[in-house]
Structure 1
């Protein structure tokens, strides 16, 4: 039986060579490769010309020229499927031969006689212990075909992704992202899954490298260009510019959403692909799976690039569009509001709640467009950045305000109500952003400044003071009564936290 398996492998090499020669002839693969190479050269020349003269129109591009019969996308896609199936069936056939040879050899060759007979007259350098060729003629031919596969696959993938980016559209009633995200990741999933189905780790590695290069040079670069141009020529003042500015913000936020969802899609895609790798038919299971897994690890790393770009551009949006409006928000909210109150004024303020009503209205107006446009993750990130700015600005206001006992009580209620309102905007709590302000409110509501000794240093217990000694003195000095007691004379050195 072992000799039959040897002869079967030898005959399969001969017959498969004939079949594959006919396949190449009918599918005109060599002509297609020449045409693809020509189109790639034309693209490089047109890219170089556009860098020299950005206004130069070049009608010749792979997208336009690919309409010819040789490189018709659907036909190329069908060719890739055929090539992957050839590789897959070849791997399955070789796996079958080696498995049967190993089983038969283990069952009958205890003294090594069968192995010596099989290897009689053969060069042992090219054969395994089971008597079969380490690299059969079929596998060599399949690997040659896979070189063509990689060229066609790279060309078709870049063309399809370029088309997806060119035809990108946004419909807020369907999704917070534009269409390119779903389209591109559909293409990537198809491309990488097909490469895994070849069961050749070199193909997987090369495909993932091409994917990463394309994402860098086309996908991410396009997003960067859109964000850079979003506010170009925008007037940031005047009513006539409001609508145009809002549209620019939306365009910018769509890209942020695209980056956020791209991160999620990448993680889901890699998790799905790992299952395909685990179920693969590998010639050298351990080595080949390690190579395929490493390629997927490289793919997973692109999500970090999405996150970093998202974080930096979100901070830019915060700095340019939201931060400048925080101070006016407080100025309006604190209009006609004071924290030096008598009992009658305190009761009136208790009913009117001018500050919190204005603050809610102003804050809701400030974030309305962002809340409506951004994904949940992005809005949470933006809100986190915004609350950092809000807390810092509020601290500055507090340190410039005078308080009496009623006013301190009123401030504490305003602060608690505002924190409750802000915490209800998302599922994530942001109370830690206002810890310093809460501690300021605590200090302002002391009956006597000496009460600080009861909750400072070793007596603080679970409380972690975010205020320095200097800041504690400044806050206590904001109370008229405490200021008259010259709180600066109090010493906290022995109680420092």
Structure 2
């Protein structure tokens, strides 16, 4: 129907304007549109009846999403009630029939594809007529009497299109809104949310993982739960189909819906699993959390991180497609400001999802640090400094070594603290590092380094009056060795977190002439050193050596 009308307009437009004057083709288009309203309405009604669209809408509106709803309810306990904690078990084993019997997802998917295609055709038709009816304000009473719409040959063809009044007020436009756009939005909401629900019903976590470095791990990173890949595939599919309609009203409904479902259901389900199923708490008071809980918790943090990357890539690929054959937003949405609206909607989706997942990732890493890393790291700091006496002079240290018959290499003795720390640090952090995504591990490392810096800062001040000159030199070497272990692997910025400790060690070992020179420069207002220590702390540091 649309192609036939377009051919009439294209083939006869020049002839009509040549014989009847500029802008007269618009009157012909208005008459053609009246007939299109009638025929298009019949086609849409017939299609709706054949596809039972109204019945499908009733089904999807009444769909209960029982699995999602029950998953957010507190776990019920008591005789005769069996509710699994894992969505992987699905609907078939928790006492209810599959809800897919009520709504056929394949039929809904097929309806959505057909609807999207028709909306896309309507968009092309609207775009074509808009280009033929580029409007300008009517000039003169006579022209207003003839037609409220006139063609303007002076308008730049690159100017954004404006929807003609004859289409805005047409019966077919209202029919398309009621019979195509609204059902498409409703069924897309159902299709996406049901897909999220199904993904968690079929949830699978990677197995063959271990925190024991001597055991190899199965599979390849990233280690995430299966719903991440499933849901993000559906996000991409739903966005692609919705964008292909070139309808602003579709985007105004679908993109906020995707964001809402991702935030409430997808992120909500992962949050519930982190809280109720995988929270790393010890079985007995004062113990460490079980390994399987720690692994599950890390996998869920990974899942949020990877999902965040997925959404960012999907949105970027729509806003700035790398493939030249892919239509840009400006091509898909030529009407005034529509492309900007779509771009802003996509960016808002990405920003909102990133914010929500970012908060949960931060909370999860805080729990992992407090419940796992910190509990194991605090005893390590005490252990690596055992038997270390910074009051000894170089001669006393040599005498002690001879008395203990220590024939180890001097360098090995010198690096004893750093080697002890490295061994303990690797046993704590490396098992986590090989499971966790690099971005999340970097955040965890930052949190750990900040806490360790506070512990070392407290310890270094505790040596006041308990250090010889030689002991101060050993202390600087030991603390620098610990900082080097934490900061290795290209994460040099971590060293900045230990700036206070490093400056104390530097001041303790600074020659008196150098100290006086620094003070003179500061008195002249030409301070070169970026101090993180206050003036009083710098003086205290100089007095640490007895």
TM-score calculated relative to the size of structure 2: 0.76
2:313 is equivalent to residue 268 of structure 1: yes
Q: Judging changes above 3 Å, is the alpha-carbon distance between structure 1 residues 112 and 264 closer, same or farther for their aligned structure 2 residues?
A: farther
1:135 Cα offset (Å) = 3.1
Tell me, in whole angstroms, the C-alpha distance in 1 between the residues paired with 2:498 and 2:410: 23
The partner residue of 1:173 within 205, 219, 226 is 219
Q: CA deviation at 1:334?
A: 1.2
Alignment of 1:21-420 (within 5 A): 21-40=45-64, 43=66, 47=70, 55=81, 64-68=98-102, 71-102=103-134, 116-118=145-147, 132-144=166-178, 145-171=180-206, 173-174=219-220, 175-229=222-276, 230-231=278-279, 234-235=282-283, 245-275=290-320, 278-282=329-333, 284-286=335-337, 288-300=338-350, 301-344=352-395, 345=397, 350-352=411-413, 353-401=415-463, 402-420=466-484
Structure 1, unpaired ranges of 5+: 121-127, 481-497
Local SS of the residue matching 1:66: helix
Is this contact kept in 1: 2:450–2:497, CA < 8 A? yes
**Cα gap change, 1:64/1:82 in structure 2, threshold over 3 Å: closer, same or farther?**
same
Cα distance in 2 for partners of 1:211, 1:143 equals 21
Over residues 37-72 of structure 1, what are the superposed CA-to-partner deviations in whole Å (9 max), with x where a residue is unaligned?
3324x749975995696757698999822234xx21
467 and 102 in structure 1: CA distance in 2 versus 1, 3 angstrom threshold: closer
Distance in 1 of aligned mates of 2:392 and 2:177: 85
Provide the rounded CA distance (Å) in 1 between the counterparts of 2:252 and 2:316: 17
Q: Deviations over 1:183-235 (max 9, x none)?
A: 11111121122222222222212112222221222111111112113237632
Does the CA-based 8 Å contact 1:50-1:56 persist in structure 2? no
Question: Structure 1 residues 428 and 139, CA, compared in 2 at 3 Å: closer, same or farther?
Answer: farther
Residue 421 of structure 1: SS of its match in structure 2? helix
Q: Distance in 2 between matches of 1:63 and 1:403?
A: 74
Which of 14, 20, 45 is the equivalent residue of 2:44? 20
Greater relative contact order: 1 or 2 (C-alpha under 8 angstroms, separation 6 or more)? 2
8 Å contact 2:199–2:227 — kept in the other structure?
Answer: yes
The Cα RMSD (Å) is: 3.4
Cα shift at 1:147:
0.9
Q: Deviations over 1:436-463 (max 9, x none)?
A: 1111111221344x75343243467321
Q: Report the structure, 1 or 2, having the larger helix content.
A: 1
Distance 1:343 1:129 in 2: 89
Quickly say closer, same or farther: Cα 1:53–1:409, change in 2 above 3 A: closer
User: Could you state the TM-score of these two structures normalised by the residue count of structure 1?
Assistant: 0.83
Assess, with a 3 A threshold, how the Cα gap between structure 1 residues 201 and 452 changes in structure 2: closer, same or farther.
Answer: same
* Distance apart, 1:165 and its partner CA: 1.9
Structure 1 pair 56–139 and aligned structure 2 pair: CA distance change class (3 A): farther
> Which deviates further from its counterpart, 465-474 or 312-321?
465-474
Cα separation, partners in 2 of 1:351 and 1:453, compared to 1, 3 Å:
same
Moved more, 330-339 or 353-362: 330-339
1:251 to partner: Cα distance = 0.8
The DSSP-based 3-state class of the residue aligned with 1:102 is: coil
- Which residue in the other structure is 2:538 paired with? 472
SS in 1 for 2:388: coil
- Mind listing any 5+ residue stretches in structure 2 that lack a counterpart? 1-12, 14-24, 84-90, 150-161, 207-217, 321-326, 402-408
* 8 Å Cα contact 2:205/2:226 also seen in 1: yes
